[in-house]
Amino acid sequence: MNYPRTRPRRLRTTPAMRRMVAQHRLDASDLILPAFVREGISEPVAISSMPGVSQHTLDSLRKAAAEAVEAGVGSIMLFGVPEDAKKDAVGTPGTDPDGILQRGLRAVREEVGDDLVVMSDVCLDEVTDHGHCGVLDARGRVDNDATLPRYAEMAVVQADAGAHVLGPSGMMDGQIGVIRDALEAAGHHDVGVLAYSVKYASAFYGPFREAVNSSLKGDRRTYQQDPPNAREALRELELDLAEGADMVMVKPGMPYLDVLRSVADASPVPVAAYQISGEYAMVEAAAERGWLDRERAIEETLMSFRRAGADMVLTYWATEFAQRLRVAAGG
């Protein structure tokens, strides 16, 4: 018989062999934990479409941040959920120094200091009564240029509250430059900006709407990117870099791995991928029904982002997976 001289299987024979030749690795410090802090509750509220994820009180948010630090997670991204009665057309809770997101930022910084990179969401969707990411004009359309000053004010208020990094997620043209200028003028020279440079209008955001008690009327297709288009992702990247972005993001994650690869190849700054609520919910639902191995599926999805070029991954499994890595390492 003519036996094969080359056998790729030789490098798959044992766990130790597979570890030695692995091209990509997951580290807890690469993970970012998205977390929701809600006003007016006395105990955490479970999010039904995201099993295992809750809207936090300030106290439970502190605990979650401390657990993330202990597990070795690199960062936390905060989203604020104000009381519905406080929402208005211009998102006043977003620029109120005593708004729930700002209180959450202060609480986390008091709890963990600089041991965790504390990020915050700069967007109006959680704090407006119409649920859009910007101010509306007289015809009910999102007014890009009228929204930018609101973002600038939000950015300064969040930086004042202790955010290390701001995450503008509204997809308004020019938002990164306006925010960078506002931060510099306020003396926040060291506060970074993680630009949601590539954010598609996706069906996978569904559970997130529950998580932030969304008041959305209509959709966001006029300002978020259209799923058929890939080239414009690089245009958005170029614009955000020119405006001063320190890091960039692709969102959602798994449905856009091709776009993530293109952005990672072109970006001179760190690249993040957001494993969004719908991706999380699908794995949890399938695992609950016994249709897949939950732990293996989580690891495989996270590895897909690293393999596609992401330096950081936002995932609701951040603390859990970091704890698993620590146990596996004997820590």
Cβ count within 10 A of residue 6: 6
What does the block give as tokens for 318?
């951040």
Nearest by Cα to 101 from 80, 124, 121: 80
pLDDT by 10s per residue, the chain, length 331: 888 989 999 999 999 999 999 999 999 999 999 999 999 999 999 999 999 999 999 999 999 999 999 999 999 999 999 999 999 999 999 999 999 999 999 999 999 999 999 999 999 999 999 999 999 999 999 999 999 999 999 999 999 999 999 999 999 999 999 999 999 999 999 999 999 999 999 999 989 989 998 888 788 999 999 999 999 999 999 999 999 999 999 999 999 999 999 999 999 999 999 999 999 999 999 999 999 999 999 999 999 999 999 999 999 999 999 999 999 888 6
Residue 251 a catalytic site member: yes
DSSP three-state, residue 107: helix
Q: How far apart are CA 227 and CA 294, in angstroms?
A: 28
pTM, two decimal places: 0.95
DSSP three-state, residue 33: strand
Write down the catalytic residue from 63, 86, 87, 199.
Answer: 199
- Distances from the Cα of 151 to the Cαs of 143, 236, 320, in angstroms? 12, 18, 33
pLDDT digits (tens, 9 = 90+) for 74-127: 999 999 999 999 999 999 999 999 999 999 999 999 999 999 999 999 999 999
∠ Cα 196 59 189 (to 5°)? 40
pLDDT digits (tens, 9 = 90+) for 222-239: 999 999 999 999 999 999
What does the block give as tokens for 115?
């041991």
* Domains by residue range for the chain, with CATH: 24-328 (3.20.20.70)
- Distances from the Cα of 132 to the Cαs of 37, 139, 240, in angstroms? 19, 14, 21
Cβ atoms of residues 211 and 55 within 8 Å: yes
